[in-house]
Structures are given as structure tokens and as C-alpha cells.
Structure 1
């Protein structure tokens, strides 16, 4: 995809990977709309020159707000990036309300946005849906079963949607990042990829019209999985 002159919407675009990706896309000449729920970070994004949309995508109302705000606009690139984890350990009480919000934000919202914005994307000469999953979509980590399940579900959805849209003007890219240095991973002690480098690799995958982008250390995980899925799962369950 030639990015200059295109328009993009990036969910979770006021922080972390989404913010870095918005900056990287803008450097390529893309008009970027960022979606977030934190008023302070939205104000900072607006001060940096981004168009902003306030919406909590962990709810159906948030999805409705985005779709309404985009009515009549031309969008070439939908980036489903917003995501969050949910604490889940059966040795202690589980907050199922938090679990439900995680499932909606990470899985339901991308499906709804992809579906409801698809007519808009199909109207463009060249368009793309970019779904940010995770290396944990390939092999789960024992400490994050709900997060892993949502990312695995989004991976399956992405693959099937790509097959349905084959031959159309809308491409579907899945991005599988490793652990990236963001606010969300602040407590993670593992080696982290710089967020700017992650964004750079995502933009390159978009420009190359790729179907899948295994970013950073995820490439090694995919290699191990291709040789022995059982070994990959064993490694990641202990990660």
C-alpha cells in the first residue's frame, strides 16, 4: 500500500504501540485519527496535531461512537490496536466483569469495527484492516489465559476474514508483536522491544501488503512452532 495521502483510524492510538504507529504513519503522509478513552492523553494527541475520537472500546457504546463519528468520512486503513489484559488466576477470586471487558476490547470490538466499517473500506480503491494480535496468539502463557484467548480468537478471525476478502480491494494484515516497552508491560521483567521499532516494522509490513507480520522475537517463536508446536507451547506456558 502506498501510504501518502491515505486516511487511517488507530484504536488505542494515544499510548504505546498505537501512538508510535500513529506517528510513524503520519511521517508517511497519512492523515491519522486516534481513538482513546483517556481525556488527558487525547488532549496531548490533539496538541500533537492528530484528529482524535473519544471512545471506550470495551463497550458496545464505544464502538457505536466510533462508527457514528466516521459516518461520511473516507477511511483507507483501520488499525485494531486497542487492547488490555485481565487478571485471571483460579487460586484467587476472579473478577469476571474485568474478564468480560478484556474480551470485548480485545476481540469483540475489532470484529464489530471491521464489520461495520467494511463498506467504507470497500468503497476505497485500496484499503487495509490491520489487526494487532500477539505472539501469545500462537502459544499461550499460563499467567494470561484470557488475554491469550482473545488474541488467539482475533488471529483466527483475521485469517478467515482475509480468505473472505481475497481478490477484493481490502487487504487484511495480522501483526504479532513480542513484548513491547509500553505502559501495559511496565511490570514485565522480560526483554522488551522498543515501541518505535515495533511501529517501524508494522508500517513496513503495511507498505509491503503483507498478510502477516511477525515482529521481533515473535519470528523466533514462529520458527520454533513450525518445527514443534508442542515445544513452543511448553516454552510459552512457562514464560
Structure 2
């Protein structure tokens, strides 16, 4: 895809992977609308040259408000990157409200935004939807069942959506990052990919028109899974 001159919306774009995707899109000549809920980080994004929209996508009202805000604008690229984790572990107290927000933000929100913006995307000469899932969408970790479940659901939705939009002007890409250095992974002791490199690889895959971008160690996991799903699941469930 030719990114220069395109208008891209990046959810969760004021921090972490989303911010780095936004930066690389901007460097490629795109106009970038960063969506987030932290006013301070959005102000910093505005100072970098991004357009910004404040939105909380963890409920239906926030998603609907964003679709209304974007109404009438020519959007060429939608990057569904916003996401969060939620604690669900036997013997450990957990917050059901947090679990509901995680499910909505990670899975419901991308579907609602695509549904709300799809007609506009289909009217563009060239358009793209990018859903950011995770290597854990291929094979889950026992430490994060809710997060893994939402990302696996989004992966399945992405594949089915790509089949539905085959032959149209809307390209559907899935990006599967490994563990990346972000605020969400601060307590994760595994080796992490720098967010800037992850963002660079995702945008390069977008420019290359790829269907699936297996980033970093996710490429190894995907290869193992293709060889033996049982081995991949056995390894990752303890990850």
C-alpha cells in the first residue's frame, strides 16, 4: 500500500506500540489521527504533529462517539491497536469489571469500529484495516486466559473479514507482535522487543501489502505451530 498521502486512524496511539506505529506512518507521509484516553499523552502526540481524538473504547458509548467524530472524514487506514490485559487466575482476586473492559476493548471495539467505518473505507480508492493481535493468539499462555482469548477471537474475526473483503479495495492485515517493551508488560520478565522496532516492522508490512505480519519471535512461534500445533501449545501454555 502507498502510505504517502493516506489518512490513518491509530487507536491506542498515544503510547507503546500504537505511538510507534503512528510515528512510522507519519514518517512515511501519512496524516495520522491518534486516538487515546490520556489527555497528557495526547497533548504530547499533538506536539509531534499528530491529529488527536480523546476516546475511551472500553465501552459502546466510546466507540460510537469515535465513529461520529470521524464521520465525514476520508479515512484510508484503520489500525485497531488499543488493548489491555486483565487478571484471571485461580486463587487470586480479580475484578469482573476489568475483565469486561478487557474483552470489550480488545475484541468488541475493533469490530464496532470496523462496522462503523467500513462504508467509508470501501469508498476510498485504496484502504486498509490493520488488527493488532498477539503471538498469544496463535497459542495461549496459561497466565493470561482473558487476554489470550480476546486476541484469538480477533485473529479469527480478521481472517473471516479478509475472506469477505477479498476482491474489494479494502486490504485486511493482522499484526502479531511478540512481548514488547510497553507499560502493559512492565512486570513481564521475558526478553522484550523495543516498541519502536515493532512499530517499524508493522508499518513496513502495511506498505508491503501483507496479510499477516509475524513480528520478532512470533515468526518462530508461527513456524513451530505450522509444523506441530501441539508442541507450540505445550510450550506457550507455560510461558
TM-score normalised by the chain length of structure 2: 0.99
Range with bigger deviation, 38-47 or 80-89: 38-47
Q: In structure 1, what is the equivalent of residue 65 of structure 2? A: 65
Q: What is the alpha-carbon distance in structure 2 between the residues aligned to residue 46 and residue 216 of structure 1?
A: 30
Deviation at 1:92, TM superposition (A): 2.5
Q: What is the alpha-carbon distance in structure 2 between the residues aligned to residue 2 and residue 49 of structure 1?
A: 20
Q: In structure 1, what is the equivalent of residue 50 of structure 2? A: 50
Q: What is the alpha-carbon distance in structure 1 between the residues aligned to residue 20 and residue 208 of structure 2?
A: 19
Q: How does 1:65-144 map to 2 (within 5 A)?
A: 65-144=65-144
Q: In structure 1, what is the equivalent of residue 226 of structure 2? A: 226
Range with bigger deviation, 87-96 or 48-57: 87-96
Unaligned runs of 5+ in 1: none
Q: In structure 2, what is the equivalent of residue 213 of structure 1? A: 213
Q: What is the alpha-carbon distance in structure 1 between the residues aligned to residue 184 and residue 154 of structure 2?
A: 19
Q: How many residues in Structure 1 have an aligned counterpart in Structure 2? A: 239
Question: Over aligned residues, Cα RMSD in angstroms?
Answer: 0.7
SS at match of 1:119: helix
* 1:120-142 Cα shifts (integer Å, max 9, x gaps): 10010000000000000000000
* 1:30-80 Cα shifts (integer Å, max 9, x gaps): 000000001111111111111000000001111011101101000000000
SS at match of 1:92: coil
* 1:176-208 Cα shifts (integer Å, max 9, x gaps): 000011111111110001111111111111111
Q: What is the alpha-carbon distance in structure 2 between the residues aligned to residue 195 and residue 150 of structure 1?
A: 21
Q: What is the alpha-carbon distance in structure 2 between the residues aligned to residue 24 and residue 204 of structure 1?
A: 9
Q: What is the alpha-carbon distance in structure 1 between the residues aligned to residue 61 and residue 43 of structure 2?
A: 21
Range with bigger deviation, 26-35 or 42-51: 42-51
* 1:117-176 Cα shifts (integer Å, max 9, x gaps): 000100100000000000000000001000000000000000000000000000000000
Deviation at 1:94, TM superposition (A): 2.6
Deviation at 1:93, TM superposition (A): 2.9
TM-score normalised by the chain length of structure 1: 0.99
Q: How does 1:190-209 map to 2 (within 5 A)?
A: 190-209=190-209
SS at match of 1:58: coil
Q: In structure 2, what is the equivalent of residue 13 of structure 1? A: 13
Unaligned runs of 5+ in 2: none
Q: What is the alpha-carbon distance in structure 2 between the residues aligned to residue 198 and residue 136 of structure 1?
A: 16
Q: In structure 2, what is the equivalent of residue 27 of structure 1? A: 27
